Amino acid sequence: METVSLPHLPDYPLHICLFKDVNNAPFLRQQLLEGNTDFEYAFLDASILLSRNQVLAACFRAINDLLQDRLKSRNVHSEIVFSLSPNNNISESFRRFGVAETSRHILAVKVGGVQSQIEQHLKGSVEGNLVPLTDEQFAELRDESRLRKVYKIGATGNEAEAFVIGSMALKGS
Amino acid sequence: MAQPPPQQPLRTLPPPFNTSAESFELIAQGAESLLYRTTFLSPAQPAALKVRPQKTWRHPTLDKRLTRQRVLAEARVLVKLSGEGIVAGGGGRKVKDPKKKNDGGGDNGGVGALRGLVPAVLALDWERGWLVTEWIDGVTVKLGIYQRDLAADEGVLRGLLGRIGRVVGLLHLAGVVHGDLTTSNMMLRPTRTPGTNADAMARAEEERGEVEVEGGLEGDIVLIDFGLATQSVSDEDRAVDLYVLERAFGSTHPKEEGQFDEVLKAYGESMGKPGKVVLRRLEDVRMRGRKKSMLG
Ligand SMILES: Nc1ncnc2c1ncn2[C@@H]1O[C@H](COP(=O)(O)OP(=O)(O)OP(=O)(O)O)[C@@H](O)[C@H]1O
Ligand SMILES: [Mg+2]
């Protein structure tokens, strides 16, 4: 697990785990659907992620919108999922970027909380292999064609990052 | 030259920056905005924060609307340009058929050549009036020319002017006019091949705070300050864009003014056929400019 402190948001540390080859995505999804309060995480489908910076930019936007009292969804965790989307359709963003029954690789983000407890809980709940949060890993795990379709781009390398992050930042304008 | 503006108290920064423990170095203070060097997604990633503070003398509702428009206009154009050559046809954000952009067959390095030549947008808040973009290393073209090595071959200056013309041509081909082309709104970014020794050394120097400005004018031209940019393909708008640059260049760099043709030549080459029309139009725009200044 990695704990990331975004430069301007020191009070909102991000605890992030990237899991590869997850076996129990349906269970995780079920916890979210039931509103199980032990599972207050942003569970993202990692196959649709481009880069580490993209994830951090989504977290920044969600926390800033929380601080500005203008969340579009239930809480900061669902807002992180929504923040990844280039458009304003909330339920579509959950379908695209959130954990699905068929998700194989999952990124879990928790805003705030005690690192050791979160790590223990995630490792105990997600059946998968923890891998480092690097662009190389994202490149390995992603589904190129889905990524292209969702962001309407023709390339999925480094060269797409600026456009993807920019589109996320402009959403709702 | 004006004195550097005094450091603004941090509480004038909009949230969440007003409670941040990071450093904010005031780089420039314009009529409408403050530009800070700070960090963003990681402490190791420098970023440019452009803040448009409230104008207390304006009606609050109007002020909010204008700020919002300015921040969004700049961000939208930057994002559009960062998608040059990678946005799939028929996408959500309208981008014209890439093939059509090359209609003049200009010598411009192809669609997408502009993508890395504008700062990437990292975040913005149009309600609060701020925009964070990638930090561009180097100096403004203005400073680069001021500090150039006068003993160096004039070809170096001509090379720089050519790169300026080419990048403006690429911008216009991408369907954008800048609206405020000056040599302060262009950066001269040292060309670095990541992973090389030179790159590692330059980075180490930077970390020690030894950012060096040499007499050389090598590097990529990166366009900044898109606060007045608009999406347009009209010859008139393009010609006015060039005219603004020509006038600004002449007054900022009187010694170099005679070589401005180099910019226009490269512009024409990079634009291809449509560039010729714009350059002809530029003559009309100059004429009107002269008449206007004669009338006072
Ligand atoms: N992304 C960047 N990276 C490095 N330096 C920058 C960046 N953006 C701006 N600067 C520096 O800050 C100065 C002012 O920025 P900019 O031109 O965007 O603001 P401005 O002229 O005050 O804006 P506006 O005209 O929209 O009110 C530039 O001349 C340049 O020196
Ligand atoms: Mg400027």
What does the DSSP assignment read for B257-293?
Answer: GGGTHHHHHHHHHHH-HHHHHHHHHHHHHHHHHHHHH
Q: How far is the CA of B220 from the centre of ligand 1 (A)?
A: 17
Judge: domain B26-134, CATH 3.20.20.70: no
| Residue-level pLDDT at B111 | 73
Of all atoms in ligand 1, which is nearest to the CA of residue B140? Answer: 31
CA distance B295 to chain A (A): 43
CA distance A34 to chain B (A): 33
The structure tokens listed for B172 are: 């216009």
CB contact under 8 A, A170 and B88: no
Residue contacts between A and B (CB atoms, under 8 Å) = 105
| Residue-level pLDDT at B206 | 66
Q: How far apart are CA A58 and CA A85, in angstroms?
A: 9
- Look at residue A156 and tell me whether its pLDDT is greater than 90: no
The answer to whether the CB of B188 is under 6 A from ligand 1 is no
CB contact under 8 A, B92 and A68: no
Least confident of A18-22, A97-101, B207-211, B218-222: B207-211
CB contact under 8 A, B86 and A160: yes
B49: β partners: B36, B132
Q: Which domains does chain A have, with CATH numbers?
A: 2-170 (3.30.2380.10)
Fold match, B26-134 / B139-295: no
The answer to whether the CB of B220 is under 6 A from ligand 1 is no
Q: How far apart are CA B144 and CA B247, in angstroms?
A: 18
- Look at residue A21 and tell me whether its pLDDT is greater than 60: yes
Q: How far is the CA of B132 from the centre of ligand 1 (A)?
A: 11
The H-assigned helical ranges of chain A are: 25-34, 52-67, 76-83, 90-97, 115-125, 135-141, 144-151, 161-170
| Probe site for chain B from A71, A93, A163 (most B CB atoms < 10 A) | A163
Q: DSSP assignment of A121-143, as one string?
A: HHHHH--SEEE---HHHHHHH--
CA distance B79 to chain A (A): 5
The answer to whether the CB of B27 is under 6 A from ligand 1 is yes
Question: For residue A129, which phi and psi values (nearest 5 degrees)?
Answer: -100, 125
Domain parsing of chain B, residue ranges: 26-134, 139-295
Reported ipTM: the value is 0.97
Coil, helix or strand at residue B243: helix
Question: For ligand 1, atom 22, which residue shows the shortest CA distance?
Answer: B30
Give the Å distances, CA to CA, from B57 to B53, B60, B71: 12, 8, 19
CB contact under 8 A, B87 and A162: no
Name every chain A residue with its beta carbon within 8 A of the beta carbon of B92. Answer: 86-87, 152
Under CATH, domain B139-295 is a member of which superfamily? Transferase(Phosphotransferase) domain 1 (1.10.510.10)
Name every chain B residue with its beta carbon within 8 A of the beta carbon of A51. Answer: none
CB contact under 8 A, A68 and B15: yes
Question: For ligand 1, atom 4, which residue shows the shortest CA distance?
Answer: B136
| Residue-level pLDDT at B294 | 78
| Residue-level pLDDT at B199 | 65
| Residue-level pLDDT at B201 | 67
The answer to whether the CB of B274 is under 6 A from ligand 1 is no
| Chain B residue at shortest CA distance from A156 | B86
pLDDT tens for chain B, residues 1 to 296:
455 555 545 548 999 999 999 999 999 998 889 999 999 999 999 999 999 998 888 999 999 999 999 999 999 999 999 999 999 864 334 434 444 444 444 666 667 889 989 999 999 999 999 999 999 999 999 999 999 988 888 899 999 999 999 999 999 999 999 999 999 999 999 986 665 666 666 666 666 665 554 567 999 999 999 999 999 999 999 999 999 999 999 999 999 999 999 999 999 999 999 999 999 999 999 999 888 877 76
